[in-house]
Amino acid sequence: MMVAGLGAYALLYASPYGLRVLTVAGGYALAALGFQIVFGLGGALSLAHGAFFGIGAYATGILGSQWGWGFAATFPVSLLVPLLLALLVGLPVLRLESHYFALATLGIAQVVHLLAVNSPGLTGGANGLPGVPGIVLFGWAVPRGLPLAAVVWSFVALGGLLAWRLARGRWGRALTLVRDDPLAAGTLGLDVGGLRLAAFALSAVYAGAAGALAVHTQR
């Protein structure tokens, strides 16, 4: 019903400003889906989600604006870089529990923020990255307005479908048990650490994708 309502609004009622807001909201909706995996299913309050969003945005933005790469080439990079960072930092921080884990991920977010602001030659610093190209798919430069909103929400739909299938499958049920009772999950033979790491890494992929969509739609 919600998807049908958004589609009807976009097709029949939305002004150019409304379509712009809808496009921006799509990127954040994708990021929220990723946060639902690590926090909603896994029960881990990750405060590094915004950092992964920014890393995905910078990865695709730098390659697009400074190296001339197209969206089809940069988008996979915006998924891979946050994934690798999540796997790297997830191994130690996921050993922490409750608010200690949250504080550790907050520290990661602050480090990423400081690096971004204090590296103007690479990231543009506080002024951001100029000249990031728009989304080009199969040689078609997606124009602003309804086409761009449709492309962004197509990514949201794909991400939502994947998250829905994972949540209702064996992996999602196992992760929910880890959230509710880690000790019971361990006694049942579940890999508690591996499940948490997978949820953390997958949420980073979602955040990176959302960041890529955000930076390529800021024209």
Instruction: Please write the tens of the pLDDT for every residue from 87-127.
Output: 999 888 888 877 888 899 999 999 999 999 999 888 888 88
DSSP-assigned beta bridge partners for residue 137: 140
Instruction: Please write the tens of the pLDDT for every residue from 25-49.
Output: 999 999 999 999 999 999 989 999 9
Structure tokens at 90: 């997830």
Instruction: Please write the tens of the pLDDT for every residue from 124-162.
Output: 888 888 888 889 888 888 988 888 999 999 999 999 999
Separation between Cα atoms, residue 27 and residue 35, nearest integer Å: 13
What torsion do the CA atoms of 56, 59, 61, 67 make, to the nearest 10 degrees? -160
Higher pLDDT, 118 or 4: 118
Residue 146 contacts residue 17 (beta carbons within 8 Å) = no
| pTM reported for the whole predicted model | 0.93
Q: Of the candidates 120, 124, 118, which has an alpha carbon nearest to the alpha carbon of residue 65? A: 124
